[in-house]
Amino acid sequence: MAKDNVDLICDIGELAGLFEKSQSLSDFLQSAVSIVAFHMRAAVCSIYLYDADHEELTLAATQGLNADGVGKVSLKLGEGIVGTAMKELRPICEGHGSLNPNFKPIEGIFEENYEAFLAVPILLRGVMRVGVLVAQDPQPNYFHKNDIKALRAISSQLAVVIENAKLLMSLHEAESNLPVEKIDEDEALKPTFIKGVTASSGVVRGTAVVLDGHGYDVLTAPADDSVIPPGMKDFEVALQESIAQLTFLQNRMEERLGDVASLIFNAHLLILKDEGFSGEMRKLIESGMAADRAVTSVVNDYIGLFSKSKNPRLQEKVLDVKDLGHRLLRNIQQHGEDQGDYAGQILIAKELLPSDVLKFAAQNVEGIVIVQGGVTAHISILARSLRVPMVFVENAAILDVDEGTLILIDANQGTLFMDPSDSVLKQYDSLVNRSEVERLSVTPETFTEDGTKIKLLCNVNLLSDIEFAIENKAEGIGLYRSEFPFIIRNEFPSEEAQRLIYERIYRGMPEKEVVLRTLDVGGDKKLPYHHHDEEANPFLGLRAIRFSLKNLGIFKQQLRAMLRAGVDRELKIMFPFISSVDDFLEAKKVMVECMHELEAEGTPYNGHPKVGLMVELPAAVEIIDELAQAADFFSIGTNDLIQYLLAVDRTNESVSSMYVCHHPAVLRSVYRIVNSAINNDVEVSVCGDMALNEDMLKFLIGIGVRKISIDPQQIPRVQAFLGGLHTEEARRHARKLLRFGSLREVNQYLAELEA
């Protein structure tokens, strides 16, 4: 199969488009096998679904075999080539399927006409059996390694869709119409100003939408009994508008965020088309209930069912159902005039998953307020990449704010204003205009006042960040956080899917430096679909390179994808959380093994990658000279380095005041790393919030740092500061700071500078 067809199959945007014409799971599966057969130029493509209770596979859809066999042909686990692939959880590719000892002819489906046989298990989270995807062709030896890769990529996406459909099916088997618990609705004092913690900066205003208030009715304006209530026609129009809007959103997000937006609205579309959902609304309307009240009633029932389910995956769908209710009601009330989304609105919720943030950003939410304790790192980073201002607050009183209340978020300061005055609004409008002027004044290169070149790179989390990086004239990517496609998707992205992502990153920044960091999960960045033991202190547990070395299958897929994507570029691969030379060399050894595998396969790859590490652990600082002998480059991860040096959990509000980047131990450690890099002729860059503090940025330049990696939107401000800085002044500043042994002395010195 040609490479372009592999890419087409791996581009899940095409699968997403099938929802528009699919009315059920069987319709979707039939469309899927047709499109896969077309791209693979195979005579047959079939899907068998697995029933775990009976350990049995049933033919669910086929293109090429006798369609009469759908729903009738069954195979036990281990029976036939299909059952064997399912039992052993591995692809089986046969040039002559009939010669395989496990081949089992099935009468009536005309399978005997096809010799080449390829069966790939459909697995959820890498281990849970969902079904088998099969391709067949009359030409012997028709399928090759690329075909196996393509089917594995598409099967991982199918697993997610099938899971959501099965969740709906299991829901209908459960007890229906569970009562929604009533919450005491004592009137709380509604605040006018709340101080919180910034998660993603920006200044925005909008009307309040509360997703975690007292019941579901708060999502819609109260019905007006003086007008004719909306009826069946209004509902049907709103339903079709909602389906069209969600399909459009899915397609648009696949174009902009193909790395993470893998079928993010598939659950929405499946629920909308489910007769137990929309069909029940029709029944209530036919009985005389107004359309908006029917929507609210059914959505409340579903919220009760989902929230009381013992299945955690169903519990996660509560926000999806509320989101759907919001869209349906807005379309009923506004007749589709505002696309049913969150434009002009501020979302307030107790907690959001990364995928929720992505969905609401896709629906044009102005800003988000989350009511919980410490800032969660991956949620914050994601919001910044999506340019959605976000604030975390502890004051739960905001959950009682009236729907439609005007809210102004100053996420630069972490503050919220309820019903702000005209003077406050005017003041913040001027701030927004000033930041836009700063962005327009940025130049392609950065120099200090005396002409010293400082390279400003950017941190990239999503493909959409590249657009911001280009806008702000970043000189390259100093850190690509590869974990976000893993965190937001419902399944491990395959090697092919990862390769496509990395290639798009390179295409977005041609001829510029790009550093790809391997997977950094653990701590507060967990994979919801991966089984992991509960850890008393996850920040000191199986994190980053430790996770990768413990899960070599996942690690090797990622390294292979990086090596293949960087075939025609200077490739820089960086390992996170290195605590010893041994860790680094073991990770590098795995990379070399991947290179040997690709060589043996005849697959093009980059044979001379530069390999570096993030210096973010005190242990690495103590052996920095030895690491400098082994590595090609360093990136100092100041956020984690400060956290581990000072033993301060930066997500814990109780001790967050102790997290200070100007602590003497931090300053001396960073100086030691930079000095070792310079002495050993190793490239060194700094990544993290330390570089956004002007006093610390001045310190970094003073000790010899010439490469900084920051969020793209911070480049104009940092460049403007550096343009007024003289390097000799920075050196004097650094020497002064390094002489202090206590925080009191450092604080006093910095206070004198500001005076």
pLDDT digit string (tens) for 136-194? 999 999 998 888 888 888 888 788 777 777 666 666 555 444 444 443 444 344 567 78
- Give me the DSSP letters along 645-665: HHT--TT-TTTGGG--TT-HH
Give the pLDDT confidence score for residue 217 in this predicted structure.
43
Give the pLDDT confidence score for residue 15 in this predicted structure.
58
Give the pLDDT confidence score for residue 567 in this predicted structure.
95
Catalytic residues: 378, 687
Assess if residue 355 is contained within a domain: yes
Q: Distance (Å, rounded) from C-alpha 103 to C-alpha 679? A: 64
Q: Distance (Å, rounded) from C-alpha 218 to C-alpha 721? A: 46
- Look at residue 492 and tell me whether its pLDDT is greater than 70: yes
Measure CA of the first residue to CA of the last residue in the chain; give whole Å: 69
Assess if residue 178 is contained within a domain: no
pLDDT digit string (tens) for 590-611? 999 999 999 999 999 999 999 9
Cross-strand pairs, 56: 51, 76
Assess if residue 554 is contained within a domain: yes
Do 597 and 666 lie in one domain? The reply is: yes
Do 242 and 347 lie in one domain? The reply is: yes
Between these two residues, 525 and 238, which has the higher pLDDT value? Answer: 238
Give the pLDDT confidence score for residue 261 in this predicted structure.
63
Domain that holds residue 26: 3-173
Q: What is the mean pLDDT of residues 436-442?
A: 66
Q: Please, what sign has the CA dihedral across residues 648, 482, 321, 171?
A: negative
pLDDT digit string (tens) for 610-644? 999 999 999 999 999 999 999 999 999 999 999 99
Give the pLDDT confidence score for residue 725 in this predicted structure.
97
Between these two residues, 20 and 662, which has the higher pLDDT value? Answer: 662
Q: What is the mean pLDDT of residues 32-60?
A: 91
Residue 4: pLDDT band by 50, 70, 90 thresholds?
Answer: very low
Between these two residues, 218 and 435, which has the higher pLDDT value? Answer: 435
pLDDT digit string (tens) for 75-111? 999 999 999 999 999 999 999 999 999 999 898 998 8
Tell me, what CATH number does 277's domain have?
Answer: 3.50.30.10
Q: What angle do CA 486, 491, 494 make, to 5 degrees?
A: 75
- Look at residue 342 and tell me whether its pLDDT is greater than 90: no
128-137, strands of its sheet edge to edge: 74-76, 56-63, 44-51, 128-137, 116-124, 92-94
* Cβ atoms of residues 508 and 466 within 8 Å: yes
Q: Please, what sign has the CA dihedral across residues 209, 211, 217, 219?
A: positive
- Look at residue 310 and tell me whether its pLDDT is greater than 60: yes
Q: Distance (Å, rounded) from C-alpha 376 to C-alpha 390? A: 11
Q: What is the mean pLDDT of residues 632-657?
A: 87
Lookup result for tokens 């090697």: 495
**Lowest mean pLDDT across 51-60, 132-141, 223-232:** 223-232
Q: Distance (Å, rounded) from C-alpha 80 to C-alpha 413? A: 63
Assess if residue 439 is contained within a domain: no
Cα 237 to its chain centre, rounded Å, is 33
Beta strands 513-517 and 197-200 are unpaired
Give the relative orientation of helices 266-273 and 232-256 as an angle to the nearest 10 degrees: 160
Q: What angle do CA 277, 278, 282 make, to 5 degrees?
A: 120
- Look at residue 698 and tell me whether its pLDDT is greater than 90: yes
Tell me, what CATH number does 102's domain have?
Answer: 3.30.450.40
Give the pLDDT confidence score for residue 143 in this predicted structure.
92
Do 502 and 413 lie in one domain? The reply is: no
Closest CA to 281 of 301, 295, 299, 300: 295
Assess if residue 531 is contained within a domain: yes
- Look at residue 733 and tell me whether its pLDDT is greater than 60: yes
Give the pLDDT confidence score for residue 384 in this predicted structure.
85
Give the pLDDT confidence score for residue 750 in this predicted structure.
92
Give the pLDDT confidence score for residue 349 in this predicted structure.
87
Residue 521: pLDDT band by 50, 70, 90 thresholds?
Answer: confident
Do 413 and 497 lie in one domain? The reply is: no
Cross-strand pairs, 610: 572
What is the 3 state secondary structure string of 148-167? HHHHHHHHHHHHHHHHHHHH
* Cβ atoms of residues 408 and 429 within 8 Å: no
Closest CA to 592 of 570, 547, 559: 559
Give the pLDDT confidence score for residue 22 in this predicted structure.
61
- Helix (H/G/I), strand (E/B), else coil: 384: helix
Do 234 and 150 lie in one domain? The reply is: no
Longest dimension (CA), the chain: 89
Give the pLDDT confidence score for residue 219 in this predicted structure.
39
Give the mean pLDDT of the chain. Answer: 84
Residue ending a domain, choose from 434, 467, 488: 434
**Lowest mean pLDDT across 134-143, 312-321, 357-366, 476-485:** 312-321
Residue 571: pLDDT band by 50, 70, 90 thresholds?
Answer: very high
The stretches of 257-389 forming alpha helices (DSSP H) are 266-273, 280-286, 291-308, 312-315, 318-334, 354-362, 377-385
Q: Distance (Å, rounded) from C-alpha 77 to C-alpha 84? A: 7
Residue 7: pLDDT band by 50, 70, 90 thresholds?
Answer: low
Assess if residue 490 is contained within a domain: yes
Residue 63 DSSP class: E
- Helix (H/G/I), strand (E/B), else coil: 19: helix
Give the pLDDT confidence score for residue 390 in this predicted structure.
92
Q: Distance (Å, rounded) from C-alpha 715 to C-alpha 354? A: 25
Give the pLDDT confidence score for residue 45 in this predicted structure.
95
Do 463 and 394 lie in one domain? The reply is: no
Assess if residue 65 is contained within a domain: yes
What's the structural domain count of the chain? 3
353 C-beta neighbours (distance < 10 Å), count = 15
Tell me, what CATH number does 466's domain have?
Answer: 3.20.20.60
Whether the model clears a pTM of 0.75, i.e. scores above it, the answer is no
203-210, strands of its sheet edge to edge: 193-195, 415-418, 406-410, 203-210, 345-349, 367-371, 390-393, 197-200
Give the pLDDT confidence score for residue 212 in this predicted structure.
67
Closest CA to 579 of 624, 639, 638: 624
Between these two residues, 748 and 13, which has the higher pLDDT value? Answer: 748
Do 419 and 277 lie in one domain? The reply is: yes
Q: What is the mean pLDDT of residues 650-674?
A: 88
Give the pLDDT confidence score for residue 482 in this predicted structure.
93
- Look at residue 305 and tell me whether its pLDDT is greater than 90: no
- Look at residue 11 and tell me whether its pLDDT is greater than 60: no
Give the pLDDT confidence score for residue 189 in this predicted structure.
46
Give the pLDDT confidence score for residue 307 in this predicted structure.
78
Do 53 and 90 lie in one domain? The reply is: yes
Do 413 and 465 lie in one domain? The reply is: no
Share of the chain above pLDDT 70, in %: 84
* Cβ atoms of residues 210 and 401 within 8 Å: yes
Assess if residue 183 is contained within a domain: no
Provide CB contacts within 8 A for 575, sequence distance 6+.
517, 518, 545, 583, 584, 587, 588, 611, 612, 613, 614
Do 627 and 537 lie in one domain? The reply is: yes
pLDDT digit string (tens) for 252-267? 777 777 676 666 777 7
Positions of E strands within 398-540: 406-410, 415-418, 446-447, 453-460, 476-481, 513-517
Residue ending a domain, choose from 434, 463, 497: 434
**Lowest mean pLDDT across 38-47, 341-350, 486-495, 697-706:** 486-495
Do 518 and 369 lie in one domain? The reply is: no
Do 109 and 248 lie in one domain? The reply is: no
Task: Give the burial class of 742: count Cβ atoms within 10 A of its Cβ; 0-12 exposed, 13-18 middle, 19 or more buried.
Answer: exposed
